[in-house]
Structure 1
Amino acid sequence: MKNFQQEDQEVLHKESGILTATLQRRSFLQYAGAGAAGIALIAAGCKKDDGSEGTRLGGVNLGSGDVGILNYAYALEQLEAAFYDAVVKTPYSGITATELSLLTDIRDHELAHREFFKKALAANAIIGLEVNFSAIDFTQRASVLATAKAFEDLGVSAYNGAGKLIKSADYLVLAGKIVSVEARHAALIRDLIENGTFANSEVIDANGLDKARTPSEVLTIASAFIKTKINGSNLPS
């Protein structure tokens, strides 16, 4: 498997045309909010993990079963939301109005995803994670878009890999709704970097299928950007 940082480096010097079509701003909560209530009821019936056991084992414990998978997704959405929030608040040098609008749309989606999981998990939700973006130069377009590409590709592969681990049909439907949005983000970011690369062989295999990663693989990659240590040892496999 390619190293996450290596994937970033491959696109650091690639810049070309941007997509002119804007994403439609919409809150994920508007079409998935009803599901949050149902998920919260199911999650409330599960034993709450206060994180103490996970801390002793070496980090914040995501938990087990479907609740653990939801916390896993929540952790990734926290990372993406924090990244895009920083991008929008401190736009890179030379950013165009179109690019800022597109990245703001993505930021809004990621914030909605994060808040959706937080609300759905309720008392079972993990703590807010501390991120580490020291390796990102937020003043440079190449650095920001390379990181965005890596995060989006990672997110899509994470949801794809977690799908088979989900037991609840409701949760699986939810994951399908979110991964499709993340894939739209990934395609856009790739074309902002180099037009026409939205679905190349880096992410689509010979069978026309998107790539998938296990939670262990994803958390190892994401750990470079998250200060808070995460323990996913109880996740289903």
Structure 2
Amino acid sequence: MNQHTNTKNTSGKGEEEITSVVNRRLFLRSAGLATSLGTIVIAAGCNDDDDDPMIPGTGDTVDLGSGDIGVLNYAYALEQLEAAFYTQVIQTPYAGMTDAEKAILTDIRDHEIVHRDFFKAALGDKAIKGLTPNFSGIDFSKKDAVLGAAKLFEDTGVAAYNGAGKLIKDAKYLLLAGKIVSVEARHAAVIRDLIKPKSTDFAGDDIIDMNGMDKAVAPADILAAVKGYVKETVTGANVGK
């Protein structure tokens, strides 16, 4: 992650707005650090699986597996997609990307890479293969296209973790998912704020239900929603079973 904060106004923004952006960056960085440190202890236990998972196959079809291993592979697949997306965003910045925006998107990229690499290490030989992203439908040169895709990925990620929580049997894995989804929710909020600064859309009614809770979506529905962004066919019929 970035080790310094540039508070110089290079884009004509007011001091109040720059301070707000810097505070969001520090908030995101602290959340990511707490997550990575807090889950290291759990990592040692992730290979001690009592289930008999269906080990993912090879070729163009990737099966996530069964039981808790299936749930972890499900999260790993989504983290792969997000890490690849933000890596591309930083490698090919959209037109007019400000220093403040780049700093935020870089921090999010770093978080997603930490999450992806953590799941890969924790799963060991039970991990699915590296997926091949398909971002051909995203125009990375345009801010609206990039932030719109980021909003989709982050909102989907939060709903995915929420929907998979009830399928997790091992309390250690549930704790892990709870820590990571809280960071993903921070990502979702800051992306929405970049799209509509200082609005209430960071927690819009399209993602928050009538009880003030984030929406939860089942794995099958999430996989159907993101299938266009992955070249392989990812199946999760036995996730959590």
Q: Could you list the per-position Cα deviations for residues 97-146 of structure 1 after superposition, in whole angstroms to 9, with x for gaps in the alignment? A: 00000000000000000000000000100000001000000000000000
1:51 aligned residue? 56
Say yes or no: does 1:85 pair with 2:87: yes
Paired with 2:88 and 2:185, the residues of 1 have a C-alpha distance of: 21
Say yes or no: does 1:68 pair with 2:70: yes
TM-score by length of 1: 0.86
Query: Which of 24, 34, 48 does residue 41 from structure 2 map onto?
Result: 34
Q: Tell me, yes or no, if the aligned pair for 2:53 and 2:70 is still in contact at 8 Å.
A: no
Paired with 2:222 and 2:85, the residues of 1 have a C-alpha distance of: 17
Any stretches of 5+ residues in structure 2 without a counterpart? 1-16
The number of residue pairs the alignment matches comes to: 216
Paired with 2:183 and 2:162, the residues of 1 have a C-alpha distance of: 13
Paired with 1:149 and 1:91, the residues of 2 have a C-alpha distance of: 17
Query: Which of 65, 87, 99 does residue 101 from structure 2 map onto?
Result: 99
Any stretches of 5+ residues in structure 1 without a counterpart? 1-16
Highest RCO, 1 vs 2 (Cα 8 Å, sep ≥ 6)? 1
1:14 aligned residue? none
Could you tell me how far 1:51 is from its partner in structure 2?
Answer: 2.9
Q: Could you list the per-position Cα deviations for residues 36-77 of structure 1 after superposition, in whole angstroms to 9, with x for gaps in the alignment? A: 11112x23x55464433x86xx82110000000000000000
Query: Which of 208, 231, 237 does residue 235 from structure 2 map onto?
Result: 231
Say yes or no: does 1:171 pair with 2:176: no
For residues 58-207 of structure 1, the aligned pairs below 5 Å read: 59-195=61-197, 196=199, 197-207=201-211
Could you tell me how far 1:231 is from its partner in structure 2?
Answer: 1.5
Could you tell me how far 1:32 is from its partner in structure 2?
Answer: 1.6
Paired with 2:53 and 2:208, the residues of 1 have a C-alpha distance of: 38
Q: Could you list the per-position Cα deviations for residues 183-220 of structure 1 after superposition, in whole angstroms to 9, with x for gaps in the alignment? A: 00000000110122100101011110111100000000
Assess, with a 3 A threshold, how the Cα gap between structure 1 residues 236 and 34 changes in structure 2: closer, same or farther: closer
Q: Tell me, yes or no, if the aligned pair for 2:53 and 2:67 is still in contact at 8 Å.
A: no
1:12 aligned residue? none
**What code does the residue aligned with 2:72 have?**
L
TM-score by length of 2: 0.84
**What code does the residue aligned with 1:159 have?**
Y
> Is 31-40 or 67-76 further displaced after alignment?
31-40
Paired with 2:44 and 2:193, the residues of 1 have a C-alpha distance of: 36
Paired with 1:119 and 1:65, the residues of 2 have a C-alpha distance of: 18
